[in-house]
Amino acid sequence: MDIDIVSVFPEYFDVLNLSLFGKAMERGLVTVRAHNLRDWTHDVHQSVDDTPVGGGAGMVMKPEVWAECLDELLGIAADAPADADATPSPGSPVLIFPNPSAPLFTQQDATELSHAEHLVFGCGRYEGYDARIPQYYRERGVDVREYSIGDYVLNGGEVAVSVMLEAITRLLPGFMGNADSIVEESYTGANALLEHSQYTKPATWRGMAVPPVLISGDHGKVDRFRRDEALGKTSRIRPDLIARLDCAALDKADRKT
């Protein structure tokens, strides 16, 4: 997977060299290029923002600078005509902007994007970016996504891009040491529940015993215990996930929980 990230703080992404992500880069599973948006400016101050039209606090990122950068990274001619019905062609890059006012980024989005060949992330700062930028690229046939990572406001898109990047790339085949850990986790699959609690050895620690069924050796009982725990935990903490469950896919024992 090819990944371009555009930011006014590209050094922020140096940390990607660490840990599993660094190993994935070494193995050629992912290639990441972090660009400085200011490299596409032409003025002596290298300015990337301007005051909001219509008034208001803060600064808004300028469309001209972003467009010069994105035309180059996406391979789009500066004079490409608009087409309101343009549809992205398979295998073409996906352009992603983190934005606190956008739909929430979910595990389903991460799964879908893990199949893309090329992702281009644009990190906004200040009060955000000019709203014409995503629309411009949509009308040139680019698959443009805007996502919020949660109902809170960050200082810029860099943290949000790191979150999305990790959620997406860990799903790439061969990224994780143990592929099973992806299959069993929270938010995965058609009947996504929060994951059951986990325990390790010793069986008793500071007077606290692990649930006895987990050391019973009875796999059927262990599975049932974990499923009940996941259902109970999800209904307490995230009733919205329970409301979205496909009832037809639940078994009789689930309905008793």
Per the annotation, binding residues are 124, 149-154
Lookup: tokens for 118 = 């090329």
Q: What are phi and psi of 153, to 5 degrees?
A: -110, 130
Residue closest to ligand ADE, measured at CB: 98
Cβ-contact 148, 101 below 8 angstroms: yes
Lookup: tokens for 249 = 């896919």
Q: Which is nearer to ligand ADE, 10 or 230 (CB)?
A: 10
Lookup: tokens for 90 = 């398979």
Q: Which of 167, 210, 163 is nearest to 185 (CA)?
A: 167
Annotated binding site for S-adenosyl-L-methionine: 124, 149-154
Dihedral sign for Cα atoms in the order 117, 176, 232, 191: positive
Smallest distance, Å, CB 128 to ligand ADE?
Answer: 8
Please report, for residues 43, 65, 163, the alpha-carbon distance to residue 125 in angstroms, rounded to integers and kept in the order given.
19, 14, 16
Q: Which is nearer to ligand ADE, 93 or 124 (CB)?
A: 124
Instruction: Tell me the one-letter amino acid at 246.
Output: D
Q: Which is nearer to ligand ADE, 161 or 192 (CB)?
A: 161
Q: Which is nearer to ligand ADE, 150 or 202 (CB)?
A: 150
Cβ burial, residue 222 (10 Å; 0-12/13-18/19+): middle
Burial 77-114 (b: 16+ CB within 10 A, else e): eeeeeeeeeeebeeeebbbbbbbbebeebeeebbbebb
Smallest distance, Å, CB 148 to ligand ADE?
Answer: 4
Smallest distance, Å, CB 191 to ligand ADE?
Answer: 27
Specify the 3-state DSSP secondary structure of 62: coil
In this structure, how many other beta carbons lie within 10 angstroms of the beta carbon of residue 237? 11
| Residues lying near ligand ADE in the complex (CB under 6 A) | 98-100, 148-150, 152-154, 157, 160
Smallest distance, Å, CB 210 to ligand ADE?
Answer: 37
Q: Which is nearer to ligand ADE, 18 or 153 (CB)?
A: 153
Smallest distance, Å, CB 160 to ligand ADE?
Answer: 4
Q: Which is nearer to ligand ADE, 153 or 183 (CB)?
A: 153
Smallest distance, Å, CB 153 to ligand ADE?
Answer: 5
